[in-house]
Amino acid sequence: MAGVQHAGRAPGPAWIGGFEGNGRRFIETYRVEAAMLGALLLLCAVLSIFAENFFTEGNIRNVLWQVTAIGIIAIGQTFVILTAGIDLSVGGIAAVAAMAGGLVMQDTNVVLGIVVTLLVGAGCGLVNGILISYGRLAAFIVTLGMLSVTTSLTYVISDAASIVGLSDSYRIFGRE
């Protein structure tokens, strides 16, 4: 074939050909991320020197306990983003589901509260999915609207107050 030239290698992401140059290309590509990781490691090193309780088992367990809910939400959001989607309503759905479940747990048992929490979250997700898939509405608009609805609903059903007075079975649920 006249006029067709074949290149040796097609351009692609830096990781396709391995870490050429002892990872220098990788570091150059992800310079900001590498700097943040370095700053985090430096901060951990400094805190472990000056705060004697920083690297204790109790502190690490406390940090992991505090980020569990956000970590679970982040895993779900990762799948949404990987499929080129967007979901702005996750925080609002989590809030209204937790509030509904907590209100149920005040008057009944923990298991029913968990079921209500899951049903409220799944119901909101179902509404989002139906509006996006069958209604052919933009995911950005639908999830932004759901965020507004769920955030407002959380304030209304809670009367802008925290949930108190949960049973003792809730306090021991999820602990060692």
Residues 6+ apart with CB under 8 A from 3: none
Residue with token string 């992800």:
30
Tell whether 4 is covered by a domain: no
Indicate if 109 and 34 belong to the same structural domain.
Answer: no
pLDDT (tens digit, 0 to 9) for every residue of the chain, 176 residues total? 555 555 555 555 544 555 556 677 777 888 899 899 999 999 989 998 998 888 889 888 998 989 998 999 999 899 999 998 899 999 999 999 999 999 998 878 888 999 999 999 999 999 999 999 999 999 999 999 999 999 999 999 998 888 887 777 777 766 65
Residue type, 51: A
Indicate if 97 and 44 belong to the same structural domain.
Answer: no
Indicate if 43 and 96 belong to the same structural domain.
Answer: no
- How many domains does the chain contain in total? 2
Residues 6+ apart with CB under 8 A from 97: 117, 118, 120, 121, 124
What pLDDT, on a 0 to 100 scale, did the predictor assign at position 46?
A: 93
What pLDDT, on a 0 to 100 scale, did the predictor assign at position 117?
A: 96
What pLDDT, on a 0 to 100 scale, did the predictor assign at position 87?
A: 93
Indicate if 50 and 78 belong to the same structural domain.
Answer: no
What pLDDT, on a 0 to 100 scale, did the predictor assign at position 53?
A: 86
What pLDDT, on a 0 to 100 scale, did the predictor assign at position 168?
A: 73
What pLDDT, on a 0 to 100 scale, did the predictor assign at position 74?
A: 92
Residue with token string 């690490």:
60
Tell whether 62 is covered by a domain: no
Q: How many CB atoms lie within 10 A of CB 12?
A: 8
Give me the domain span that covers residue 15: 11-54
Residues 6+ apart with CB under 8 A from 154: 92, 95, 96, 99
What pLDDT, on a 0 to 100 scale, did the predictor assign at position 77?
A: 92
Tell whether 96 is covered by a domain: yes
Q: How far is CA 45 from the centre of its chain?
A: 27
Tell whether 164 is covered by a domain: yes
What pLDDT, on a 0 to 100 scale, did the predictor assign at position 163?
A: 84
Tell whether 47 is covered by a domain: yes
Tell whether 31 is covered by a domain: yes
What pLDDT, on a 0 to 100 scale, did the predictor assign at position 8?
A: 53
Indicate if 28 and 91 belong to the same structural domain.
Answer: no
What pLDDT, on a 0 to 100 scale, did the predictor assign at position 20?
A: 56
Indicate if 34 and 103 belong to the same structural domain.
Answer: no
Q: Are 92 and 147 in contact (CB under 8 A)?
A: yes
Tell whether 89 is covered by a domain: yes
Indicate if 148 and 97 belong to the same structural domain.
Answer: yes
Tell whether 108 is covered by a domain: yes
Indicate if 138 and 77 belong to the same structural domain.
Answer: yes
Indicate if 134 and 168 belong to the same structural domain.
Answer: yes
What pLDDT, on a 0 to 100 scale, did the predictor assign at position 165?
A: 78
